Amino acid sequence: MTTPRIAFQGELGAYSHQACVEARPDHAPLPCRSFEDAFAAVRDGEAELAMMPVDNSTFGRVADVHHLMPGSGLAIVGEAYVRVHINLLVLPGTTLEQIKSATSHQMLLGQCRGYLSEHGIERITGSDTAGSARLIAEQTDPTRAALASELAGEVYGLDVLARHIEDHAHNTTRFLIMSRQADMTRRGEGKMVTSFVFTVRNIPAALYKAMGGFATNGVNMTKLESYMKNGSFTATQFYAEIDGHPEDPNVRLALDELGFFSSEVEVLGTYPAAKARG
């Protein structure tokens, strides 16, 4: 029996790879060069699922993914959260006194300023986290280290010299799991989440009126974000997430009212809320 695959953007050892391992351990990871390639891998049948980062608690939304989702031809079937723990990875046997520089993505370097300054370690910007770990493993220079996940250390044969060295203990990335086929069944024991995009009609107070149905029907909207559509300053598409399933009576009424004031409504998926959502 062939092992199903899950596509992600980045190299083996990336935090997206970690999300795949934690959320879908029965799937083989398929690294892809870009978000577009990861979406295409699922559409073309190379992978069954895609793991897409959409939000980070420190840096906000991943805009590229939000723009690509509506036209991807895929449906959201799940979500996952990864706590971004940053580790100092070194060649086996290296001591802290030997380390002169650390390489990683610019964002991770900025999140470890305290530790790196304390130990006099120079910050060197790399292309990404997993790629930096691979580079350190290939260069075999004991004065250089990488900042990345523990998984990257396992993949590239590096030691974890220091764990969880980030300055702040709240950096978390949220991922959406996407599939060729939508799954509208109720799954799990907790609440369901529904994601959708919509474009309001060009009439006064259209957005206010479109949102009214969620308030009057007691539907909790947990996310609402706007995007320019097709490069136009007047055509705006909104991405929203609500608690509930489209078949719930109050959700159905709210979506009906949304449709009356919108020129376009597309449900991207309904899926169980992850425990980490709170």
Catalytic: 233?
no
- Active-site residue 173, yes or no? yes
Q: Which of 8, 35, 39, 175 is catalytic?
A: 175
Q: How many CB atoms lie within 10 A of CB 254?
A: 25
d(C-alpha 221, C-alpha 215), whole Å: 9
Residue tagged active-site, from 94, 103, 129, 173: 173
Known catalytic residues are 173, 175
